[in-house]
Amino acid sequence: MTPRSSQQVTRKPGGGAATGGGGDAGPDGRTFVLVGSVLVLGAGVGGLMMRRRRPNRG
């Protein structure tokens, strides 16, 4: 049996549960992924630069 519109709840509780800071708590995962990607890319470029600048032997 479905409730009629006159039987539906019209009063809602105010406030909410204190579950934490939500999105304002700090950096999200995208920040960590971006920083990690930059570090990996920098290490790769640095390795290529070190390999290129070695003096030729022979």
CA distance linking residue 15 with residue 4, whole number of Å: 27
- 3-class secondary structure, 10: coil
How does residue 23 score in pLDDT terms, banded at 50, 70 and 90? low
Q: How many CA atoms does the CB half-sphere of 47 hold within 13 Å?
A: 6
In terms of pTM, does the model score above 0.85?
no
User: Where do the domains of the chain lie?
Assistant: 29-53
**pLDDT at residue 50 above 90?**
no
- Residue 44, pLDDT above cutoff 90: yes
Share of the chain above pLDDT 70, in %: 57
Distance, in Å, from the CA atom of 54 to the CA atom of 49, rounded to the nearest integer, reads 9
